[in-house]
Structure 1
Amino acid sequence: MLCENYRFDDKRLPGLSPVWCGTEQCAPGFSVGFTRPYWMLHFVVSGKGTFSTGGVTYDVMPSQIFVVRPHRPHVYTADKTDPWHYIWLNFYCDTELPALLDADVITAPSLGSLFADCLDAAREEYGAREAITAGLWALFAALIRMQAAHGTRQNPYVTAAKRYIEENYAKPIRVSDIARTLNLDRCYFSTVFRRETGTSPKQYLAEVRMEHAAELLSAEGASVTSAARRAGYGDCMNFSRHFKAHFGVSPSRYREMIAKNEIDGGFPDKISERNER
């Protein structure tokens, strides 16, 4: 079974910082399910599989990219009869990314060569990290050109709602508040949002809050009480209940595991070096 796995040093650099790069011809039915504090892009070279995130499951085919966002639960599984072969790029990014990466799955046959170039760079003894950083910027530029060429546009109400949530998730906002801001009926807004994103605005708001809470606990070492408050939860017990339902462990246990370097944003019963893929 083909498998190459290259990891760069753990130092997180400002802006864009590669973490892992590799490729694998997966075994039939091979499945991965965990969270990470960084972005993960998988380009499917051949074969097929499924990718589940945010309550939606996608059938992913060759020349498609499935996008895993930081701290977002997900599962991806190779097909049992035609398992996929993919190339992956994992990275931290503190800057704004192309809008196409808001999608969970992107069809982009022209980008396969950029993933292959990054893999070739990872095999080099010197300058691999710098070359992959440049390759990621080239990939982002290509995604921006794709969006411009195909006129990819999200429903303006959904775009505005997402922006409102990102700017106000720390406040005690509700779906009715978002709809009112957009001058829309709550039921109509929820229908449009679900049709465009595959998830409800309530679930999307909860996911944004959980992702920010996990970032506060892992990157900043915030206390559970502080993370709850800064993620928009006035009740710490309610926050802990939602966090455990979302990630599978309590926020205090998650914080403890991060502090002891037992995990790298994932959970030990689901992680092995192989699972970095």
Structure 2
Amino acid sequence: MNPDHYQFEISINLHPSEGELTVLFSGEGSPKPGHKVGPSVHDYYLIHTVLSGEGVFVSEGRKYLCQAGDSFLIMPGSLFSYESDRRTPWQYVWVAVQGDGASRLLKEAGFSQEKPVLKGADPWALHSFYRRIKHSFKQSPFPELESLEASGWLRLLIHRLGLASRDLRDTAAQHSEMIDRQVEQAKRWISLQYHQQLGISQMASSLGYHRAHFSKAFKERTGLSPKQYLMKIRMDKAKELLESRVLTIDEVSSSVGFNDALYFSKQFRNWCGQSPSEYRSGFMR
């Protein structure tokens, strides 16, 4: 038992990889009142989540009061300290992280040098992910697989931290971001499925929108209606195929989602001012 803690548990990764994201160790503790760590620096990322009680975290000279549901991040090379409250000492869990992708993933969750604390999460929901990480180790004779399992649970923990930080933001901003995301999904869907018989109503329904509302949001963000955007993607792809001089007009038509080559040729002329054959001839000169 650590003499500075009422409870102290730690599990260490015996086979840390050099991949994108690796757990070095994970633990849980209940420090005694006034217990302090630092000032110090680490050469890895260290996340703490407060389960109960409170304490003060100091990063690069800035103080943060942390309570249940708050998570604070110690960054490599940053001067830090933290201290348990003398009246209501905290209980916390932690995980140490390294890897080329750690900085990016933690930033995506909402952490930064200017914002090393994320607030407002359900501490016991997060606790379950920390426990999964900690229990990944010493479970088998294959430490490299244990390391892989721990990194998987770590990704889920970071994901949950990111969701919690976003839940605290302005509702209108969240709604706008959700629409942005759905429009991007629709654009991606069209760019991948343009050769299929796509229905705008079906697309809107699958994204959870009424067609009229979806079409309005799509046009506000792209300048084109979904139907116009689909036609643009098809015509741009048709140009690429015509320039390749390999496929026939019928084959180009079918490849970009038109069952009728005459109808395709009419739409191509309307869009480009030339028939497919004229476009190909002009490109070949």
With the length of structure 2 as denominator, give the TM-score of the two structures: 0.49
Match of 2:37 among 32, 40, 47: 32
Match of 1:129 among 147, 150, 175: 147
Paired residues for 1:197-208 under 5 Å: none
Task: Point out where structure 2 has 5 or more consecutive residues left out of the alignment.
Answer: 1-5, 174-285
Query: Sequence identity of aligned pairs in percent?
Result: 21
Opposite residue 126 of structure 2, the aligned amino acid is L
Paired residues for 1:77-96 under 5 Å: 77-95=83-101, 96=104
What's 1:49 paired with? 55
In structure 2, distance between residues paired with 1:133 and 1:29? 32
Match of 1:105 among 117, 120, 138: 117
Opposite residue 135 of structure 1, the aligned amino acid is W
In structure 1, distance between residues paired with 2:31 and 2:165? 30
What's 1:169 paired with? none
In structure 1, distance between residues paired with 2:155 and 2:128? 14
In structure 2, distance between residues paired with 1:40 and 1:121? 14
Match of 2:76 among 52, 65, 70: 70
Asked if 2 retains the 8 angstrom alpha-carbon contact of 1:118 and 1:131, the reply is no
Asked if 2 retains the 8 angstrom alpha-carbon contact of 1:43 and 1:112, the reply is no
Q: 1:107 to 1:47 in 2, by over 3 A?
A: same
Task: Point out where structure 1 has 5 or more consecutive residues left out of the alignment.
Answer: 154-277
Shift of 1:138: 1.1
Q: 1:128 to 1:46 in 2, by over 3 A?
A: farther
Q: Deviations over 1:73-122 (max 9, x none)?
A: 10000011111100001110312121511121111423642343332442
In structure 1, distance between residues paired with 2:165 and 2:49? 18
1:7 aligns with 2:12: yes
- Residue 97 of structure 2 aligns to a residue whose secondary structure is strand
Asked if 1 retains the 8 angstrom alpha-carbon contact of 2:20 and 2:100, the reply is yes
| RMSD value, Cα | 2.3
Opposite residue 91 of structure 2, the aligned amino acid is H
In structure 1, distance between residues paired with 2:10 and 2:96? 11
Shift of 1:35: 1.3
Opposite residue 111 of structure 2, the aligned amino acid is L
Paired residues for 1:239-258 under 5 Å: none
What's 1:22 paired with? 27
Asked if 2 retains the 8 angstrom alpha-carbon contact of 1:122 and 1:129, the reply is no
Shift of 1:25: 0.5
Q: 1:82 to 1:71 in 2, by over 3 A?
A: same
Q: Which has the higher contact order (CA 8 A, sep 6+)?
A: 1
Give the number of aligned pairs.
153
In structure 2, distance between residues paired with 1:55 and 1:41? 18
In structure 2, distance between residues paired with 1:139 and 1:82? 26
1:141 aligns with 2:147: no
Asked if 2 retains the 8 angstrom alpha-carbon contact of 1:99 and 1:144, the reply is yes
With the length of structure 1 as denominator, give the TM-score of the two structures: 0.50
In structure 1, distance between residues paired with 2:162 and 2:127? 16
- Of residues 46-55 and 90-99 in structure 1, the stretch that sits farther from structure 2 once superposed is 90-99
